[in-house]
Amino acid sequence: MHSGSLESVASVVREAKEIVVFSGAGLSADSGIPTFRDGATGLWNKVDPDEVASIEGFLRNPERVWNWLLQLKKLVDERQPNAGHQALARLQEICRAKQLTVITQNIDGYHSRAGNAPVLEVHGTIHRLRCQQRCGFSADWEQSAAEPFRCPRCGAPVRPDLVLFGEMLDEEVFAAAETCSMTADLFFCVGTSFTVQPAALLPVWAKRAGATVVEVNPHPTSLSALADYSIRSGASEFFTALSAKLAARQA
Ligand code: APR
């Protein structure tokens, strides 16, 4: 990571009034949660997402999807938010006079566990269940719920409260994410490959609306050319250094 870019980004943060941090699986990589598309370790390079994480897969074979997601949930419950999540919570504290919103594609809940707020979970969460028919039933997903079950209210299937492939995002959550993106003057993109729509449109809309876009990723992505700063770094390293630099000047 070029120290010059850290100082430049720090001064953009100091000037900014509305900041968005848009995160993906790469942010949780340091917690030991595999990303989806990274080389040999990427989850989708090991298992077919249509089979284990799509609505068609769920309606065809609910046990298969339930079991696979439950294994992922158990790993998420075992592990912890990492230094990257904690540095973002510190950044939010340092920027408390500004509006800083986290928009995440991650379903692990680590941002909130690290103290970030507000957090818009555009792909939902692995920690809650809901009725497939949205009759209003929802519950925390206890690991003891090892088998799919029927909604106690309406009898429809109950499923994890996350966005499966082939499904629309929650309109309210996405509308809020869109509004934040359009009013942000600084938009961080960390740990995402910009593969999945419509979430991958948010940085593009932010850029069009005039935001400075800063990408943090050890590898180039399809967004790198559009970003004002495309920083080759891991999330933990970059945000730890950035928060420290900003805190030093505050002291
Ligand atoms: N720090 C920052 N970025 C990292 C790190 C790290 N330590 N390690 C890996 N990355 C980057 C990779 O280079 C890659 O560009 O994180 C990105 C992870 O990309 P994906 O695995 O495609 O994850 P993501 O972009 O979050 O996927 C989007 O796709 O599978 C669906 O719904 C799922 O929310 C997910 C969506």
Question: pLDDT of 148-169, one tens digit each?
Answer: 999 999 999 999 999 999 999 9
Active site residues: 123
Token digits for 142? 């206890």
Mean pLDDT score across all residues of the chain: 95
- Kindly state if the Cβ of 235 falls inside 6 Å of ligand 1: yes
Which of 217, 223, 236, 242 has most ligand 1 atoms within 8 Å of CB, for mutation? Answer: 217
Q: Which residues, given as ranges, of the chain have pLDDT below 70?
A: 1-3, 250-251
Pocket test for ligand 1, best of 107, 195, 237 (most atoms within 8 A of CB): 195
119-121 and 124-131 strand pairing: unpaired
| The predicted structure's pLDDT at residue 248 | 87
Contact between 180 and 20 (Cβ < 8 Å): yes
Model pLDDT, residue 247: 93
Q: In terms of DSSP H, where are the helices of 79-151?
A: 83-94, 110-114
Contact by Cβ (8 Å): 86, 78? no
Is 25's C-beta closer than 6 angstroms to any atom of ligand 1?
Answer: yes
Specify the pairing of strand 99-104 against strand 18-23: parallel
Q: Determine the distance separating the centroid of ligand 1 and the alpha carbon of 193, expressed in angstroms.
A: 5
Cβ of 159 below 6 Å from ligand 1: no
Across 87-107, b (16+ Cβ under 10 Å) vs e yields bbbbbbebbeebbbbbbbbbb
Does residue 195 line the site of ligand 1, with CB under 6 A? yes
CA angle 36, 114, 197 (to 5 degrees): 35
Decide whether any atom of ligand 1 lies within 6 Å of the 105 Cβ: yes
Q: What single DSSP character describes residue 169?
A: P
Calculate how far, in angstroms, residue 184's C-alpha sits from the geometric centre of ligand 1.
22
Please give the backbone phi and psi of residue 172, each rounded to the nearest 5 degrees, phi first. Answer: -65, -45
